[in-house]
Structure 1
Amino acid sequence: MTLVIAGYSRGGFEEGIYFAADSHITQHNQILVKGFRKVIELPIRVKGLNFCGDWFNSYLGNRYESSCAIAFAGSSLVAQHLINSMKNHLSELYPTFSEGRYQIVMSCEQRKHLRNNDNYSEDMFLDRDLDNILTGEYLSQVVCHSIEAVLNKAREHGSMSRLFVAYQAEFIFGVQCPQTREYQLYQYEIVPDEELGVKVEYLRIANDDLAVIGEKEKFKESAREALSQCPPEDKPSHAMFSFLNQSIDNENSIGNNGIGKPSGLFNLQGRMLTKVLHEN
């Protein structure tokens, strides 16, 4: 199992998103790997546009680059495949004009891409047209689509309900919205579905709440209680890291190895994810 807790850092210099994570990979309570990193940075890239007068030549380079953070719990094999899908989608986004408006589309939406040698008015695709169309909410939808794209392929084999445990995974997505500059947290879970076999459910995490994946049924409410008791002068991230480590110690003391150290505290500020604390 896994325990990852994510929340919003308080304002000022500490503003951002934190992730407190264990690092055990286990099977039937047997430790397979220690020190497995469960919080990673992924790139966000939007293609640039190459015009010659009013003729569109091609997509060229990147007009926007940033990063986000993804944490995962569940089957490590399936989760890594899903994270690869997220990386592919987030790092190859395309500005376009489709359905009567400027928008950002994914690489798999080729019918919406601008076509080489099409002509557009020279007063189109100006910075003011493109600078406000990429949002944190849209990026959260790209992450959801990335998961669904993998599940859609898996459904071709027709065994998802029977092998649900193999597909079971949860994710936390953290990003700073390019428009509002506010930090946003989203939580995703692959759950059983009678018709589809499995489906993705996701929600945005409120500014005063926590995202918890892995052993959330066991620890989410107590994590919330610990956060509520954090004094205003203390850092919520440090309080949650202490809670994580105490929870690991308590579980290990009774022979439960589903979560374990080394543990890490990570912080996403702007486009950079850094490890700020570590405990063996």
Structure 2
Amino acid sequence: MDHSESSLLDAVLASIDETPDPRLRQILTTVTRHLHAAVRELRPTNREWEQAVEFLTAVGQKSDATRQEFVLLSDVLGVSMLVETINGADTGTESTVLGPFHMVDSPVRELGESIDLVGKGEACVVTGSVRDVDGTPLAGATIDVWQCDENGFYDVQQPDSQPAGNGRGLFHADDKGRFWFRTVVPSHYPIPTDGPVGDLLTATRRHPYRPAHVHVIAEAPGHTPLTTHMFVADSPYIDGDAVFAVRGSLVTEFAEVTEPAYAERYGVSAPFRHAHFDIRLTRAAA
């Protein structure tokens, strides 16, 4: 058998050529072609290739029911955001990355309920609406939100100090597509650095920080589900997100409110922070 570099690639591609699923055949062919090209360009030693395999093995071993290290790797390499950009709608609210912490179901909550089960951070009220891109309110739309606490930790990271479901909530918009809930202002935070992705950041002298944000998944019948963020406008790292996910249209003012009457309306004490986020969903393809 001819084991020249080009003939080896040809042999592998020929072995894929009979794959019945055309999309799978396309994916395998393209990935194989680019992977072989990268190896030919880099000329890795046997030990370097072993280290690459060991790194990917460690990424898999670090993943568990509440930690997805492969998602984290995709995020810090900008691949997650690239996929979002490719698949993003031309109209409607811009999408961004899912992140590695949407690993548990958000508890169903009533409109106006608080997703903060601890009560130590700066009080915040989030209001918004879900509409079609033509402005039609989407009654009953679901809004799934999750966020870290005021110290930058998600509930799944601190099961001994945060109750399960802290910072999470699944809401249904009212008959005018409106939603509102209470929470605390989230903090900027470092992505987990105690695994192989953290080692990669250290080796490349990159910081691990994300600006403060609230994750949102919005869904309504007949519309394409949206995964997005509300970024806190004055947060550190708003211009240097470690996972490249900030979009200007998603940067949201968390304004201080001092009027007692306004605070009473939402069941909080003044002063508090208020953020408003309107969501526009595109219609799903027929």
What's the TM-score, normalizing by structure 1? 0.23
Compare the two structures and name the one with the higher strand fraction: 1
What's the TM-score, normalizing by structure 2? 0.23
Q: Greater CA radius of gyration, 1 or 2? A: 2
Of the two structures, which has the highest relative contact order with CA contacts closer than 8 Å and spacing of 6 or more?
A: 1
